[in-house]
């Protein structure tokens, strides 16, 4: 075996060792319809990030769902969806190369780029599937205008604006995720929002590298739902064109989520509660 064969064999061994061991950080990009999730996610995808658009994923993988005619929405089998997403993540982990500039380095010295270390899951229900969530926010009055321009019915406009005013998705994310950050997109343009997401992702990866990143699993959230008398098995959902926010427990923002995040200089400015909409008040 010549030197090049040995190097190739060694690299294959490193890739094999890394396969299944290099854990991708799955981060939900969630929020009320109209807050900019899809637009910003498309930009992040163009920048080279791994992005899973959950509505498309459900359709492409024929995830079991039923139509709720009364509520005009779909009831998605979350157990099946979680299994499918987990399979997708495992497949992605195995496909990620060791990265440029790693040739000749020992396996333990090889690194993976930040963009290959994260999977962004985009959906207004993505927080049910991730340990970490970035919640996009928009002032309700601005959100109403956006949704009206999209052609939403007056009922759907009011429903989603009310959900945003009551912090429904933010509270759900608190209930299910180990770390929750929020980005105010009321006046940000999409490029700036994408920059903010990248800043958050970099900070989360730094914390994970230090072993400081708080994590809880969706299974833990399901157990909490059951103990609270709620059904954690299914989530009511439709595409963002007519999304219906579902929650039986609006007390999800209860305390108990104190984390290392508030000590991080970068993440501190994205902690929930830091958004100031006073200048937009009627």
Average pLDDT along the chain: 78
Q: Which of 90, 8, 30, 14 is nearest to 247 (CA)?
A: 30
Q: How far apart are CA 100 and CA 82, in angstroms?
A: 32
Four-residue CA torsion sign, 114, 118, 124, 129: negative
Q: Is residue 188 part of a domain?
A: yes
Q: Find the CATH number of the domain harbouring 169.
A: 3.40.50.300
Boundaries of domain holding 39: 24-96+112-280
Q: Compute the average pLDDT of residues 85-102.
A: 79
User: DSSP label at 224?
Assistant: H
Q: Is residue 129 part of a domain?
A: yes
Q: Is residue 16 part of a domain?
A: no
Q: Is residue 191 part of a domain?
A: yes
Residue 249 has a pLDDT of: 42
Three-state SS at 184:
strand
Residue 114 has a pLDDT of: 83
Q: How far apart are CA 162 and CA 156, in angstroms?
A: 10
Instruction: Name the pLDDT band for 74 (thresholds 50, 70, 90).
Output: low
Q: What DSSP string runs through 39-102? A: HHHHHHHHTT-EEEEHHHHHHHTT--EEEETTTTEEEEEHHHHHHHHHHHHHHHHHH----TT-
pLDDT tens digits for range 173-221: 989 998 999 999 999 999 999 999 999 999 999 999 988 888 654 335 4
Please tell me the total count of domains within the chain.
1
pLDDT tens digits for range 214-273: 865 433 544 544 444 444 444 443 344 444 333 334 344 433 345 688 888 999 999 998
pTM (2 decimals)?
0.76
């Amino acid at each position: 075996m010549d030197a090049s064969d040995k190097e190739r064999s060694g690299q294959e061994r490193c890739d094999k060792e890394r396969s299944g061991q290099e854990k991708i950080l799955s981060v939900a990009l969630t929020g009320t319809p109209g807050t900019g999730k899809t637009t910003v996610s498309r930009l992040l995808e163009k920048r080279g990030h791994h992005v899973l658009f959950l509505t498309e994923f459900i359709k492409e993988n024929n995830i079991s769902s039923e139509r709720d005619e009364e509520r005009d929405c779909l009831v998605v089998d979350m157990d099946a969806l979680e299994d499918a997403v987990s399979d997708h993540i495992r497949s992605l982990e195995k496909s990620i190369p060791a990265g440029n500039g790693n040739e000749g380095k020992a396996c333990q010295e090889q690194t993976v780029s930040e963009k290959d270390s994260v999977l962004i899951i985009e959906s207004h229900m993505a927080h049910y599937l991730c340990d970490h969530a970035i919640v996009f926010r928009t002032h309700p009055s601005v959100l109403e205008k956006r949704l009206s321009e999209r052609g939403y019915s007056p009922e759907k406009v009011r429903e989603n604006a009310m959900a945003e005013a009551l912090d429904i998705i933010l509270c759900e994310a608190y209930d299910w995720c180990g770390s929750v950050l929020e980005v105010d997109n009321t006046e940000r343009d999409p490029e700036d929002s994408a920059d903010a997401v990248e800043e958050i992702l970099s900070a989360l990866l730094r914390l994970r590298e230090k072993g400081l990143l708080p994590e809880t699993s969706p299974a833990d959230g399901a157990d909490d739902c059951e103990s609270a008398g709620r059904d954690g098995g299914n989530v009511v959902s439709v595409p963002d064109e007519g999304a219906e926010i579902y929650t039986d427990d609006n007390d999800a923002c209860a305390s108990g989520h104190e984390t290392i995040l508030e000590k991080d200089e970068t993440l501190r400015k994205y902690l929930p509660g830091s958004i100031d909409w006073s200048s937009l008040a009627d």
